[in-house]
Structure 1
Amino acid sequence: MFTGASALSLDAKGRLAVPTRHREALLAACEGKLIVTRNHEGGLMMFPLKSWETFSAKIAHVPMHLQWIKRLYIGHAQPCEMDATGRVLIAPELRAAAELSNEAVMLGMVDYFEIWDPAKHAAKEALDLARAGSSASAEAFKDFVF
């Protein structure tokens, strides 16, 4: 289970170092084989191979009128592999799409990761927090027990 936020740097080649706390689990789960793709909010998603297979199988069966979803997630998917030092090369096309330059925020999302430009992540989080008090959010959480 992947959780937590990490501030990361991208090197000149576009590689980011996976946080140490996740490396062993990724090696055990998928031998460091990962898939990185775009998300619909302007960030990236990074999946261990097994999680990608589950996710992409669902996306592959969207109805024809939702083909943009398939194009976005599957069409932009790039395989990558964690190197011996725990770094992952993010393809230039994906870095450009997510507006990543030399810094990134990586969020553990249970069975995958999100990768964001820090400014875009801060703006998205502020918007999400502003929405948290809405009646739609209250309805979504009505059955949760904390």
Structure 2
Amino acid sequence: MFQGASSLALDTKGRLSVPTRHRDVLSATASSQLTITKHPHGCLMIFPRNEWEKFRERIASLPMQAQWWKRIFLGNAMDVDMDATGRVLVSPELRQAAGISKDAVLLGMGSYFELWDAATYAAQEAEQMKGEMPDVFRDFSF
């Protein structure tokens, strides 16, 4: 399970350096193989390959009414390998889709990561913090 936030800077080739605390887990559980795709909230999702395969099967089995969402998730997915130094290349197409040029935030979201443009994430988080919490948290105890 992945959790926590990391501020990252993509290099000039569009590579991100996976935080050390996640590298060993990704090497052991996914053989350093990842899949990156679009998220409907404007960020990217990064899955260990084994988790991606589960997600892909769920998406692929959706009915025809979800065809556009299949295209968004599956049609934009790119398989990548983490190199020996823990770097992952994020394609120009996916970087552009998420508005990521250099500064980014990597969020552990359980079985996958979200990769956000740092400024976009900060603005969206601030906006959410101003509003009411969703009803699902009404009976949630902190």
Relative to the length of structure 1, the TM-score reads: 0.92
Gaps of 5+ in 1: none
SS at match of 1:6: strand
Aligned to 1:109: 109
Number of corresponding residues: 142
Report whether the alignment pairs 1:141 with 2:131: no
Deviation at 1:56, TM superposition (A): 1.1
Aligned to 2:8: 8
Aligned to 1:98: 98
Distance 1:47 1:128 in 2: 25
Moved over 3 A (4+): none
Aligned to 2:81: 81
Distance 1:29 1:106 in 2: 19
Relative to the length of structure 2, the TM-score reads: 0.95
Report the more deviating stretch, 122-131 or 70-79: 122-131
User: Identity of counterpart residues, as a percentage?
Assistant: 52
Distance 1:72 1:130 in 2: 30
SS at match of 2:99: coil
SS at match of 1:127: helix
SS at match of 2:138: coil
Deviation at 1:124, TM superposition (A): 1.6
Report whether the alignment pairs 1:55 with 2:55: yes
Deviation at 1:29, TM superposition (A): 0.7
Gaps of 5+ in 2: none
Aligned to 2:17: 17
Amino acid at match of 2:123: A
SS at match of 1:3: strand
Amino acid at match of 1:127: E
CA RMSD in angstroms, aligned pairs only: 1.2
